[in-house]
Structure 1
Amino acid sequence: MEKPKISVAIIARDEADRIGGLLRSLGFADEIVVVDSGSTDGTQAICESFGARVVFNPWPGYVEQKQFALDATSHEWILSLDADEEVPDALAAEILRSIQQAGPNVAGISMPRLSRYLGRWIRHGGWYPDRKVRLVRRGRGRWQGVNPHDKLVADGDVIQLSQPFLHYVYRSISDQVVTMNRFSEIYAQQGASRRGWFVVAGVFHAIGKFLECYVWKFGFLDGIPGLIIAMNSAGYVFLKHAKRWERRLTEV
């Protein structure tokens, strides 16, 4: 039986410091497509040195860019990844076995994601197993969601794999704070709240988020990184509420 071919779809911008790890882990792939939205740090050259096809597309949003990358591939199965992720050999072998055995009713394949932050693999606080559909059959999957929270949805049955893919999530605490600020801005742009209680509600939601991450989902077992994750998660929740309220100041 002929082996089904796999394309890998990646979106990137200024990822020269870490995209090499991802590309080195993709030896099992038949095609690598990188959609770049305007890197100035040599990301494109690094990708081309690994045999990837680099396509430029101005940034339209997370959901739209990932769908653009998905559509730019050519093989039957498409694995969508971010520049800060990697595919270990054990997962690559499990992927190849699964698509070889997949019946026509199978539209997608999900796998757990294991994240590394502040020198530690994070296994609690809601960060693991963090299962994601990332592999879909051509024409049977589409990126959906509200930016910046995208989701790949398969139109049909989904197989669950046991081996995780790796996520080198933030470069530093500062990088996490920058990401929180950017994501909360995107959230705020989706509408404004004219009521002050919206900010007050954000306080209670933030407290609940901290308790969820650190206590109910055992984030304390991840040591100091687990505490930092819980605190920053709570801060992000509050920022979303506060910035949506703030927008009303520019709309009056």
Structure 2
Amino acid sequence: MKIPAKVPLSIVVITLNAERTLKQALESVADWADEIVIVDSGSTDNTLAIARQFNCRVVYRKFNGFGSQKQYAVNQAKNDWVLVLDADEIVSEQLANEIAALFISETPVCAGYAIPRNLIFLGRVLRHSGQNRQPVLRLFNRRKGSITPVRVHESVQVDGAVGQLSGILIHYSYGSLHDYVLKMNQYTTLSAEEMASRHKKATIALQGLRFLFTFVKIYFFKGGLLDGYPGFVWALLSAVYPVIKYSKLQEMQDLEEKPKTSPVLAYE
């Protein structure tokens, strides 16, 4: 289906040095979305130049967590309906047509819509591993919903019915294992800070069990072994993630419990 005109919808994206995937992400929405809002937190690569190519409205804001940053971006939109898009996500043609169809005759009937998302990892679509067509609520009426104010792993919550779309959102989250490690370091720190703010305690005795349980769940029960080598690496790194997260939380707790003054070292 050819989309006849611009859809009364704002695309909102937060960015920081997103040149690897931003052009493809914007290309997937620029022809049919009424507005693209980018909230950048200090990019030093070609992110802003790419945004200008697509006539995006760019706003600077210091990053202080994914939830609040994305909500700020949503607040900048001129339309009631928004699609929260990550800079490494591409809207498939089927999904674009499906979203446009919601607006052809009248305003969408639901408060929000969940979209199936597929992850590309090590150059392969993970058809299993718990990542195939994972539903994410991203399209919603901002008058009826908001983004949870957490540092990481934020989500959209709406007051009203949630519909389900079938077109795919393609997620190119990691360009390499190096990218994965960098993101894991950032995300585990934010997760630990979030847990610390809620006074959650780390339990070191459970670390080994967390690793084993997560790996077995993803690799065997969710079919990661059917995704070949990428499935194995995904299960392994996903199992490492909670161990690092809780270890960082433990480190934060240990630092809080230590005396604030520097220890006096005695020498013989």
Instruction: Give yes or no for TM over 0.5.
Output: yes
* Identity of matched residues, %: 36
Superposition pairs for residues 81-120 of structure 1, below 5 Å? 81-100=85-104, 105-120=109-124
Aligned partners of 2:6 and 2:34 also within 8 Å = no
Query: Shift of residue 167 of structure 1?
Result: 0.4
Count of residue correspondences: 249
Partner of 1:20: 23
Cα deviation digits, residues 185-217 of structure 1 (max 9, x gap): 11222327777xx11202101110001110000
Query: Shift of residue 147 of structure 1?
Result: 2.1
Aligned partners of 1:116 and 1:169 also within 8 Å = yes
Report SS of the residue matched to 1:82. Answer: coil
Partner of 1:168: 172
Among candidates 9, 12, 15, match of residue 12 of structure 2: 9
Superposition pairs for residues 143-154 of structure 1, below 5 Å? 143-144=147-148, 146-154=150-158
Aligned partners of 1:219 and 1:230 also within 8 Å = yes
Partner of 2:80: 76
Aligned partners of 1:209 and 1:233 also within 8 Å = yes
Aligned partners of 2:64 and 2:151 also within 8 Å = no
Query: Shift of residue 127 of structure 1?
Result: 1.0
How far apart in 2 are the matches of 1:227 and 1:101?
A: 46
Output the amino acid matched with 2:228. Answer: G
Distance 1:206 1:146, change over 3 A: farther
Q: CA RMSD in A?
A: 1.8
TM-score (norm 1): 0.93
Aligned partners of 1:105 and 1:156 also within 8 Å = no
Distance 1:102 1:153, change over 3 A: farther
Query: Shift of residue 168 of structure 1?
Result: 0.2
Cα deviation digits, residues 159-205 of structure 1 (max 9, x gap): 1011111100111112111211211111222327777xx11202101
Aligned partners of 1:193 and 1:245 also within 8 Å = no
Q: Does 1:213 align with 2:194?
A: no
Larger Rg: 2
Q: Does 1:42 align with 2:80?
A: no
TM-score (norm 2): 0.88
Partner of 1:56: 60
Once superposed, which parts of structure 1, at least 4 consecutive aligned residues long, lie more than 4 Å away?
A: 101-105, 192-195
Superposition pairs for residues 195-214 of structure 1, below 5 Å? 198-214=203-219
